[in-house]
Structure 1
Amino acid sequence: MSAVAWIAVGSLVAWVWLLLGQGFFWRADQRLPSRAAPERWPSVAVVVPARDEAAMLPVSLPSLLAQDYPGPVEIFLVDDCSKDGTGDVARALSVRYGGVPVTVVSPGEPEPGWTGKLWAVRHGMTLARSREPEYLLLTDADIAHEPDSLRELVSAAETGGFDLVSQMARLRVASVWERLVVPAFVYFFAQLYPFRWINRNTGRTAAAAGGCVLLRTEAAVRAGVPDSIRQAVIDDVSLARAVRRSGGRIWLGLAERVDSVRPYPGLGDLWLMVARSAYAQLRHRPSVLLGTVLGLALVYLVPPAALIAGVLGGDAAAAWAGGLAWAVMAGTYMPTLGYYRQSLWLAPLLPFTALLYLLMTVDSAVRHHRGRGAAWKGRTYARPEAAPDQ
């Protein structure tokens, strides 16, 4: 066989392994586990870090105010040095809609060694603990919850004995670029952190989705969070690892009734979303970056390239191996597209989307080495931590 054919066979072997040996990540079927209403509803404090979120709060905050949770619940919205009147908007919405009581506070600029979001979360958790809640719901200011969201989360945690229950909010998919890029973001995340592996009692894999995390207060204290992860840019994965290391049980799945309302209408918006933390995920190691680029190329770019080269060059082995690998790839992407209610005809375009993610990751490394690091809403972390293992 030709060298192209052998490379295509290598890609096909990789896809067979991903299909069967990576926790069936592609099935997109992990939802809240079986649950029943507890005999007594525990108290919950909702912590919402918010920086320049005046445009998002009118869509997201009313959904928290309208929670029909049967037990005691209170919202702590932490205004992280916003310049757009985020705190005033939150107070006005609380007066307008009523419902769950809201306390709006501002901790000021973060101390050295802290990322802005975790500094805000720390302040909110400290205030919340003064009420001695049994659970903390950490949710972002761009996340909208159905009225029964908190009730279902607590029921799942109580029934399953989980210390952390997290749902990956359904991201907005409206523009052409969102349809092309957003479902793949969830697909790649699940490939890196297979939900089935996370949800096993004896598993070592740990991750969470930062937009919606229900956390037992005693588990947070035991894990020392957020202080133990204060520099983490990928704070959700770091949080889950800290809870698991301290002996906690965690669960992660896809949300049905929790949605992100933040728009990413253009490619540039999505590019910045990925590039700001991609290199941190690789722990700022050039060798890991090189391996990632080569791996993405072999797994996602070789199949269509081998098929085209094989057809044009009369190399039947390359064409067949490339075509089969591409078919398996597209097939594994279809459940995620179905979850996002998108056309299955987008599945064969996954190699193009993977190429975009490859370029975003390289750009993330370039930004880091130019001293811009992870930038978000006016803050830049030149050498942030990713998700520390220790």
Structure 2
Amino acid sequence: MTRLTDQVYVCAALLFFAFKGAVLLTNALTFPKLRPRPLPAQRPRISLLIPARDEAANLPRSLPGMLAQGANEVLVLDDASSDDTARIARDLGAVVLSGAALPDGWYGKPWACEQLGRAASGDILIFTDADVLWHPGALGAVLHELNGRQADLLTVLPAPTT
């Protein structure tokens, strides 16, 4: 009886890993990868929105690439930073907002994004983290993908670098 039980567990584990491997292979072959694109000639107003808390070390690397994308506005919400996040963002050319106190029932980043969304004037709101590096043509790629899919919501996962 024990040997049969062991065989069932081994078979179940092999089936599980075979299924996981098939899903991984399918994703690797079919997952879309955005390529740099110019901004569409006819486009709605774009707001690039960045919640930031203690991001003074990241902003000098990341913010210039975001500002160069061609969005109509780039807003950084300084969420009670204890470093020079607000000054650095302002010096680099972003519009800096000071975050309001966290209301009951809210968590930090969603509250920061809510405030950014309310302050934004764009027809399309693009939220990004302060440590994400935007390469030339990235905003154009996102807009082309959004339009091509006729989507109301699009999530883009940046390629991680270590």
C-alpha distance in 1 between matches for 2:88 and 2:134: 19
Structure-1 residue corresponding to 2:42 = 40
2:62 matched to 1:63?
no
Conserved? CA contact 1:53–1:86, under 8 Å = yes
C-alpha distance in 2 between matches for 1:122 and 1:8: 48
Deviations 1:149-188 (A, max 9, x none): 1111011111220112222111223xxxxxxxxxxxxxxx
Conserved? CA contact 2:59–2:88, under 8 Å = yes
TM-score normalised by L of structure 1: 0.38
Cα 1:164–1:116 shift into 2, 3 Å: same
Conserved? CA contact 1:38–1:159, under 8 Å = no
Q: Runs of 5+ in structure 1 lacking a partner?
A: 95-101, 174-390
Cα 1:143–1:83 shift into 2, 3 Å: same
2:137 matched to 1:148?
yes
Match of 2:55 among 53, 73, 76: 53
Structure-1 residue corresponding to 2:114 = 122
After TM superposition, list the pairs within 5 Å mapping 1:232-311 onto structure 2: none
Letter of the structure 2 residue corresponding to residue 31 of structure 1: P
Q: Runs of 5+ in structure 2 lacking a partner?
A: none
Cα 1:33–1:26 shift into 2, 3 Å: closer
- Percent same amino acid among aligned pairs? 29
Conserved? CA contact 1:32–1:156, under 8 Å = no
C-alpha distance in 2 between matches for 1:48 and 1:141: 6
C-alpha distance in 1 between matches for 2:26 and 2:80: 39
Conserved? CA contact 2:77–2:98, under 8 Å = yes
Conserved? CA contact 1:54–1:86, under 8 Å = yes
C-alpha distance in 1 between matches for 2:87 and 2:26: 42
Letter of the structure 1 residue corresponding to residue 8 of structure 2: W
**Shift, 1:25, TM fit:** 5.1
Match of 2:147 among 153, 158, 164: 158
Residue 170 of structure 1 aligns to a residue whose secondary structure is: coil
Question: Which one has a larger percent helix, Structure 1 or Structure 2?
Answer: 1
C-alpha distance in 2 between matches for 1:111 and 1:52: 20
Higher relative contact order (CA 8 A, sep 6+): 2
2:37 matched to 1:27?
no
C-alpha distance in 2 between matches for 1:65 and 1:36: 15
Letter of the structure 2 residue corresponding to residue 146 of structure 1: H
**Shift, 1:143, TM fit:** 0.5
Letter of the structure 1 residue corresponding to residue 151 of structure 2: F
C-alpha distance in 2 between matches for 1:36 and 1:76: 22
Aligned residues: 159
Structure-1 residue corresponding to 2:100 = 108
